[in-house]
Amino acid sequence: MPGNKTLDKISSELIKQKKKISTAESCTGGLIAHYLTNISGSSNFFDRGIIAYSNIAKIDLLNVSKDLLEKHGAVSKEVAYAMADDIRKQSNVDIGLATTGIAGPTGGTVDKPVGLVYIAISTSEKTNVKKFKFSGNRLENKTSTLHAALNMLYEELKG
């Protein structure tokens, strides 16, 4: 699990830059929001988090189109992009962070194996999506995704 240092640096930057963040998680299931809200005073920079586990939740709560889900699948660059973009816009914050992936041990296919994860960060200027392939058990894959997401977030904040 990430140490307090990473979280402290992120919260310091968010507060210094007066930026707010919201999260849209699938495979991490709330882990990222849990870490961000471990910081006292996080209500100053964290607005909301959505854990869209089912496809219908992605459609209902994050305006991901049914066509996009059918064409690319829930675990895809395109859906990660759409989730991050929507959570930022719907909550009127500076940064939207999204994860979608296959934590395992079930749910993997040849094309989309266990450990495949997409992480997206959306700002008003751009939306970046990165692809990862982790190789741990379910909790390890969630934790690796958390680490990678926090690193991407810190990089984004450093500019």
How far, in Å, are 28, 139, 155, 158 from residue 135 at the CA level? 15, 11, 24, 29
Contact positions with a second copy (CB under 8 A) in 34-63: 34, 36-38, 40-43, 46-54, 56-57, 60-61
The whole-angstrom separation of Cα 108 and Cα 73 is 12
Task: Work out how close the CB of 6 gets to a second copy at its nearest, in angstroms, rounded to a whole number.
Answer: 16
The whole-angstrom separation of Cα 39 and Cα 158 is 19
Q: Which is nearer to a second copy, 93 or 125 (CB)?
A: 93
In the chain, the amino acid numbered 38 is N
Stretch that binds a second copy, among 5-13, 28-36, 65-73, 121-129 (CB under 8 A): 28-36
Contact positions with a second copy (CB under 8 A) in 109-138: 138
Per-position x/- string for 64-103, each x denoting binding to a second copy as judged by CB under 8 A, each - no binding: --------------------------xx-----------x
The whole-angstrom separation of Cα 119 and Cα 107 is 18
Residues 6+ apart with CB under 8 A from 141: 27, 101, 103, 104, 114, 115, 117, 134
Q: Which residues bind a second copy (CB under 8 A)?
A: 23, 25, 28-34, 36-38, 40-43, 46-54, 56-57, 60-61, 90-91, 103-107, 138-139, 142
